[in-house]
Amino acid sequence: NIGSETSKGYVLVTGGAGYIGSHTVVELINANYVPIVIDNLNNGYVEALNRIEVITGFRVEFHKIDLMNEVALSQLFDIRPITMVIHFAGYKSVTESVSKPLSYYDNNITGTLNLLKVMQAHNVKNIVFSSSANVYGNAETVPITEDLRHAATNPYGRTKMFVEAILKDQCISDAEWNCILLRYFNPVGAHPSGLIGEDPHDIPNNLVPYITQTAIGKREFLSVFGGDYETPDGTGIRDFIHVVDLARGHIAALDHISKNPGCVAYNLGTGRGYSVLEMVAAIGRAAGKDVPYKIVDRRPGDIGVSYADPSKAQRELGWKAVYNQNDMCEHAWKWQSMNPNGYRDAINNELYGAFRIH
Ligand code: WQD
């Protein structure tokens, strides 16, 4: 596509070798954008880019650049006609952010400031930002709409809140700047091919990778954090969204950003919640085995019920989630069972030959 008349332009993807980034790169290619990936590989994998090539037939341009390195970033903008940025790169663990706040503020905020300074110097004024439903904190009402007051309850969520505010100020300062803030609910699942997916470095913090690792025998049992919430089965309810739907939300945002929207926030969720035990059961069905679990105390800081009102994204971006809970769980299981050790498994040509998209 590069240089072809049909291409919709060069998009810099920060954090493009990570979980959500890699799925978005696939959809960018499918939608005729030309992605250029940068990643410091803290949480990303070059192997993900190899597999994107298998899925799409397109070798993505990659540079190992850390956003703390403003000079390297600026040099990339010097040599590539980038017109849009999707900004995923950042630390993402709520628990870790509580014990390492300075490192979270430094990396997530300074990294973004460096990016914005370089964009400004190169006259690049369109950015889609990877924000989080975490900015809403303990929302008192569901479904959650975008106008709800921001009240993040941990340093991770506050980095997202602060970056949103910085982006808003930047758009106010110059009407040519456009920024779309995408607030993700709970991204889960994997590409239907099973070739790319979520690969936590350590013991997973998030529910779905913990369940799939338990189903495959890497963990003994799932600890269900709290069985006494005010929900039908007593366990927490979340708006799980298939990562491919989420990725497509970024394409809808880019397609919209050329209409000069200013700074606008959108929830990306399905609008419906599933409980922890409903997810355990669905992954058990996909894996064809019961997943052992124990109900334990609530996890500090957790809320009972969270789900989105995603109607603004549908109205204004024409985007809507299409995958259902079974798809999310089947694809999460396919990724886990094809890659028991994530990207660390040796590349297996047989695996590539056998993959089928359905
Ligand atoms: C989901 C549910 C847990 C693990 C966090 C961030 C959020 C977003 C996604 C980035 C809860 C329960 C979990 C386990 C369990 N990330 N659970 N046993 O907390 O909704 O959201 O990740 O932006 O910002 O806050 O996601 O997957 O950790 O938990 O019972 O071993 O599963 O209590 O009800 P969460 P999660």
What is the chain's mean pLDDT, rounded? Answer: 95
What is the model's pTM? 0.96
Residue 3 has pLDDT above 90, yes or no: no
What would the mean pLDDT of 327-332 be, rounded to a whole number? 98
Please write the tens of the pLDDT for every residue from 31-75: 999 999 999 999 999 999 999 999 999 999 999 999 999 999 999
The CA distance from 186 to 348, in Å, is 30
Residue 2 has pLDDT above 90, yes or no: no
In this predicted structure, what is the pLDDT of residue 4?
62
Residue 348 has pLDDT above 70, yes or no: no
CA of 68 to the centre of ligand 1 (A): 28
In this predicted structure, what is the pLDDT of residue 101?
98
In this predicted structure, what is the pLDDT of residue 160?
98
The letter for the amino acid at 172 is I
With residues binned 3-state (H G I as helix, E B as strand, rest as coil), the percentages for the chain, rounded to 5, are 40, 15, 40
Residues 6+ apart with CB under 8 A from 350: none
Query: Is the CB of 153 within 6 Å of ligand 1?
Result: no
Query: Is the CB of 104 within 6 Å of ligand 1?
Result: no
Among residues 10, 33, 156, 343, the one annotated as catalytic is 156
125 near 174, Cβ under 8 Å?
yes
Identify the CA nearest to 350 among candidates 337, 338, 332. Answer: 338
Residue 350 has pLDDT above 60, yes or no: no
Supply angle C-alpha 294, 209, 272, rounded to 5. Answer: 85
Please write the tens of the pLDDT for every residue from 138-152: 888 999 999 998 899
Ligand 1 atom closest to Cα of residue 299:
33
The CA distance from 286 to 274, in Å, is 16
Please state at what angle helix 19-30 crosses helix 46-56, rounded to 10 degrees.
Answer: 30
Examine the predicted complex and report whether its ipTM is higher than 0.95: yes
What would the mean pLDDT of 192-207 be, rounded to a whole number? 96
